[in-house]
Chains A and B, each alone.
Chain A
Amino acid sequence: MFKKLGVLMLASVLLIGMAAAANLNGAGATFPYPLYMKWNNVYAKETGVKVNYQGIGSGGGQRQFIAGITDFGGSDAPMTDKQINSAGGDVLHIPTVMGAVAVSYNLSGVGSLNLDADTLAGIFLGKIKKWNQVDSSFPDKDIIVCHRSDGSGTTDIFTSYLAKVSLDWASKVGAGNAVAWPVGLGGKGNAGVAGLIKVNDGSIGYVELSYAIENKLTVAALKNKAGIYVVPSLDSTSAAADGALNSKKVKQLIASGDFRLDLTNALGARSYPIVGMTWLLVHKKQADAKKGQALVDYLKWVLNDGQQYAPELLYAPLPQNIKSKVLAVVEGIKI
């Protein structure tokens, strides 16, 4: 009797489930994950369309998207032309928001920290091993470096910055989604690194800003290109974006519809040096008409209504002049 009841229950659940399905599946960067989760929550309430996004890292986001297992990918590391070509060429990068990569640390008794590029690189290279080498007033404790163990766009932004400002780093390690870290513990996702920093006294690592704030971690002030120590914040992120967008090269890229912009080490007195964009990877030619339309509607919502939720989670919304160009590209998606 119970067997029959069980089978009946399973069947009815499956049938009901068939009717109500998540409509879009995406995976990728953990950098914007708190914001995407908020967006999807609101979007589902407003439109009934369920967008299921999982944070597995930009590397995974790219690969699952290319393999066709997800409808869209999330990545804060732009794919190179070579990568796009070897994936078949049909990849659009739609920028959604910008965020700061905070250098977060946990050192009891130390409430503020100023780091310049060389010191930062030295710490992550393993050359500077103890906190009192950074500042003689700091405790004599080992520095526990925390980095990502998965393929990450946040890593890409962070290492791009280090490679720009430190020849040592550029030659020894380089920049990318996943690098051969000279020292440190590996955490999974931005969340994993934040978690490591939280439980280890004397640790330092890089996380997207909202993870540091949500987790009540202290962040360091970094020396920007203008020589001023700036703390990561919504303002300094937007300032960096403005500063970067003033460059001629960037303007040319935007004009050609290519939004894979590098915003690190931007000009401007108030700019925070480690700022990055994050993109949604979508196909220019959508295979499934219904899904394609749902995706386009979602993207338009993200670029218009979604932007208002960004500031409270400490992400900087896209500047107006970029937004209209991005919307134009979205309109061009063939369903």
Chain B
Amino acid sequence: MENNWETNKLKRYLKNNLFLGAALGCALVAVIPLLSVLGYVFIQGVGAINLDFFTRLPAPVGDTGGGMGNAIVGTFILVGLACVVGLPIGIFGGIWLALYGKSKRGFYIRYAADVLSSIPTIVIGIFVYVLLVATMKKFSAIAGGVALGLIMIPTVTRTTEEMVKMVPRTLYEAGLALGLPEWKVTMKVVFRTAWNGIFTGVILAVARVMGETAPLLFTAFNSMYWNFRPDEPMASLTVQIYNYAISPYAEWQAQAWAGSLTLVLIVLTITLVVRRFSKRVTYG
């Protein structure tokens, strides 16, 4: 009888170690692709990164010394336009939800934001194409910015709502006690306090839309020049990487890797820094 118990115990512990070992194995396997992607992007990209890459325009096939300068600037401009569209809706909408959103209306608005966040970005691209490109009769940076802005809205809204809600009620009441009207208290006291958290949410949303390609394919289109008019097509890092990646030219593929390295460095740095300094922001 004691023997049974001993072997049973052994079996149980073996099983325990087996499964936990398997769990560890899963974690290690999961990390491999990350290391592979980052590794390849670094090795392949580092060779093509030089000053030309950041400052020059795409060169025709066969010419050397081309770069993605316009694409890098274009990405920043597009993200800037996205913020113009996405931040007001996200932040003010989030504030409304935090203060007045316990009603049925609030439920529906939150639900709509949720649904919006699960829509494939390519579908959003189609929406903006029909709305802006087909009507304006041209591809434009505005269209690209609007598409990216729509993608940003759910993240910014959710973060703003949570951060504003987290500001202690005492702060709010102290402001009221000083005789300020509600809206002033909200903006000058509550919002200011929540701003750090909101800002991190905004930065995370920015990092996410920086990596988007599909919604730009038929809105901002692409360009080979230094072109910063918002009503004209605009180059972006992601679309340029895509075009170069599927091309058969070795120089262009090298540039695709370099572009990927640039993009990944920016996005990962933002993500890591933000997550490091704000454990309060949960998802997004």
Contacts and interface: CB of A to CB of B under 8 A. Distances in A.
Q: Do A and B come from one complex?
A: yes
A22 B230 CA distance: 12
Contacts of A188: 246
Interface string A21-35: 110010100000010
Given A13-B77, A34-B60, A22 B223 contact: yes
Contacts of A20: 226-228
A37 interface: yes
Given A52-B233, A69-B133, A195 B224 contact: no
Given A17-B227, A69-B139, A214 B246 contact: no
Given A191-B246, A214-B249, A34 B61 contact: yes
B248 A215 contact: yes
Interface residues on B, range: 20 to 34
B134 A191 contact: no
Interface string A198-236: 100000000000010011010000000000000000000
A37 B246 contact: no
B85 to A, nearest CB: 13
B80 interface: yes
B247 A16 contact: no
Kindly name the residue among A10, A53, A189 whose own CB sees the greatest number of chain B CB atoms within 10 A.
A10
Contacts of B133: 69
Interface in A24-83: 25, 27, 34, 37-38, 40-41, 44, 50, 52-54, 67-70
Interface in B9-57: none
B232 interface: yes
Interface in B55-86: 59-63, 73, 77, 80
Contacts of B138: 25, 69-70
A194 interface: yes
The DSSP consensus for interface residues of chain B is loop
Kindly name the residue among A14, A27, A44, A67 whose own CB sees the greatest number of chain B CB atoms within 10 A.
A14
A313 interface: yes
A126 interface: no
Kindly name the residue among A17, A187, A217 whose own CB sees the greatest number of chain B CB atoms within 10 A.
A17
Nearest to B244: A191
Contact of A37 (B61, B139, B222, B233): B61
B214 to A, nearest CB: 14
Interface string B221-257: 1111111111011000000000000111100000000
B200 to A, nearest CB: 15
Interface string B147-158: 000000000000
A5 interface: no
A195 B229 contact: no
Contacts of B247: 189, 191, 194-195
B244 to A, nearest CB: 9
B229 A192 contact: no
A198 B248 contact: yes
B276 interface: no
A18 interface: yes
B102 interface: no
Given A17-B229, A34-B61, A69-B133, A187 B80 contact: no
A207 to B, nearest CB: 8
Contacts of A54: 221-222, 233
B278 to A, nearest CB: 18
A10 B59 CA distance: 27
B43 to A, nearest CB: 18
Contacts of B139: 25, 69
Contact of A18 (B61, B134, B229, B233): B229
Contacts of A69: 133-134, 137-139
A211 B248 CA distance: 7
Given A34-B60, A191-B246, A214-B248, A17 B228 contact: yes
Contacts of B233: 22, 25, 52, 54
A223 B248 CA distance: 27
Given A67-B134, A69-B138, A21 B248 contact: no
A50 B222 contact: no
A208 B232 CA distance: 30
Nearest to B246: A192
Kindly name the residue among B73, B138, B247 whose own CB sees the greatest number of chain A CB atoms within 10 A.
B247
Contacts of A41: 59-60, 63
A195 B248 contact: yes
Contacts of A191: 246-249
A54 B62 CA distance: 18
B230 to A, nearest CB: 6
A310 to B, nearest CB: 13
Contacts of A70: 138
Interface of A: 6, 10, 13-14, 16-18, 20-22, 25, 27, 34, 37-38, 40-41, 44, 50, 52-54, 67-70, 187-189, 191-192, 194-195, 198, 211, 214-215, 217, 313
Top 6 A-B pairs ranked by shortest CB distance? A17-B228, A194-B248, A215-B248, A191-B247, A37-B60, A38-B60
Given A22-B232, A67-B137, 7 more contacts: A22-B229, A25-B138, A38-B62, A41-B60, A52-B233, A67-B134, A68-B137
12 contacts: A14-B77, A14-B229, A17-B230, A20-B228, A22-B223, A22-B232, A34-B62, A50-B225, A50-B227, A52-B224, A195-B247, A214-B61
Interface of B: 59-63, 73, 77, 80, 133-134, 137-139, 221-230, 232-233, 246-249
